Structure formats: structure tokens, C-alpha cells
Chains A and B, each alone.
Chain A
């Protein structure tokens, strides 16, 4: 297993378009998290899954955002009707269990630019 994989690495879209990102976690990790990071800031939590169940969503996750994790494997994050304020790095992380002794493993991120 080579770690957490995210695709695409970069996405440029016009305002109003829909975009979808994919995250493939470490295979034995049951928890998957999405974060958003804007320039010069720390990552901010968006949502997380335990297996296929989405257990918590941040207030940052407006109704234009939806995330899925079918079958508890990979996850997708879709943003509808993108706005310039959605431009950010979207990071996916995975962990084994609720209190991972070895921490959370982050993917390389998807950088979204809305023009």
C-alpha cells in the first residue's frame, strides 16, 4: 500500500461548474476525513466517514458540497456550482480507528482553482 492517494492533483474550473475529487485511503484504514486548506492557514475539517457511514459534517460544508464513501473504500467529494471562495487545497486523510496511535495519514491533496 502506497498511502493515501488523491486525484486529480490540480483542477481549474470556471465558476458555476461542478467538480468531483477522489480519495483512496490506506486499505486497512476504516476512517476517512476531508479537510480544506486555504493559503497561509491550517487545514479545516469538512467531514469524516467511518467505513461507509458519514458521521459528522462541519458547518463549512454547505449544501453545495456532498461527500460519499460507497462500500467503505474510496471517497468522493463533489462541489456543485463552484464559487471563487471554494479555491483551496482539499486534503484527504485516513486512520485506523478513532484514536490512531500512529496518527493520520494525509494524501497529497487536490488544489482547486475557480476562475
Chain B
């Protein structure tokens, strides 16, 4: 059974600081997705990582995928308050559905 683990589960950081969220998964997969969720809202797609070594950047967020280590990272550069949200990674399980991590709740304080 595919398991996806994120850490930390909760992250409080100051504006302007950098930090990394980690996503580990238990079985082979070469597709990983990052989503953002604001309170009470649905999931917004951030990144689709399709192969080993894939790196994608959008604004202050950068995601990478190491399929050999079964690890993805979401790096936050110079955080701003607008990035406060819950971030989920999800792995495509044999092409049939996504299995999600437990989420990282990010709070950026001024």
C-alpha cells in the first residue's frame, strides 16, 4: 500500500525566511503533484513533477523530485504572508488515483 508522508505537519515562519517541506513516499512512482489549499477551499494545483530530477519554480516556490530517494521537496524562498495555506503532496498510484500526504500547514508571520 502506497504511503505518503509529509513533514513538518505545521510550520510557522517569519516573512522573508526560507524553508523546505519534505514529502516521502513508499513505493515507486515517477509522478508527484503539489497542491495548495486555503481554509474551506478546494485544492489548487501548484506543480506537476513527471520525472526523476524534475525541478519546477513558480514565484517563491520551487519543487523538485528525486524518484530514487522517493522524495520531493517544496522550497519556499523569502516567505510572504500570502503563502500561508496548507500544502499537500500527492503521488499517482499506478495511474489510478492520487494518494495524498497529511499536509503541511504553513503560517507566515509578519
Q: Which residues of A contact B (CB under 8 A)?
A: 33, 40-45, 48, 55-56, 91, 93, 98-109, 111
Contacts and interface: CB of A to CB of B under 8 A. Distances in A.
Given A101-B48, A102-B48, A103-B33, A43 B43 contact: yes
Contact of B43 (A41, A106, A111): A106
A103 to B, nearest CB: 5
Interface string B67-106: 0000000000000000000001010100111111111000
Main secondary structure of the interface of B (DSSP, over half): strand
Interface of B: 4, 31, 33, 35, 40-43, 45, 48, 50, 88, 90, 92, 95-103
A87 to B, nearest CB: 14
Contact of B97 (A33, A91, A107): A33
Contacts of B35: 106
Main secondary structure of the interface of A (DSSP, over half): loop
Closest 3 A/B residue pairs (Cβ): A42-B100, A98-B95, A106-B43
